[in-house]
Amino acid sequence: MRSKSYLPMQTVIVTARSKGFDNATTFSWQGPLSMEPFLYGIQVRKSRKIYEMVLESKEFCVNFLSGEMGELAMFCGTKSGFKTDKFLEGKIGKEECESIDCPRIKGCPAYLECRLAKTLEITPESDHVIFVGEVTKEINARESKRLLQNEWYGFTTEK
């Protein structure tokens, strides 16, 4: 049985572009790793489309979600990037990142544009890797309460 002792966790959507295809995937396993240099880590399941895309492009954007974006988080976390153009099917507004060739989700309160600095594989058998991104641009667009994951398939806002 999985422990829930680490919940709640902030929920983000990571976006990437590879070979002309844009993708968006929901993450709760992520966070800052270093202030100087500013490094941010995301824990990615090897079976996800975004895993291949970040390895190929060497770039990704962390889109911080406001409390009102729970439906978007659920959509991007339950649809497969192998089978779905999430931006098209979900009618997700996007704009271009400023420092990398990657989309970001329009209307998010904050963004981190990242270049892949390192890939950490804890063991060859593990189902996740850690992508360490060097933050090339930090954008705080507006103040808002952030979206948190409070159970395996549920969300709340920070208090």
pLDDT above 70 coverage of the chain, percent: 83
**pTM exceeds 0.85 for this model:** yes
Domain spanning 9-157, CATH architecture = Roll (2.30)
Confidence of residue 159 (pLDDT cuts 50, 70, 90): very low
Confidence of residue 68 (pLDDT cuts 50, 70, 90): confident
Close Cβ partners of 8 (under 8 Å, ≥ 6 residues apart): 148, 149, 150, 156
What is the distance, to the nearest Å, from the Cα of residue 58 to the centroid of all Cα atoms in its chain?
Answer: 14
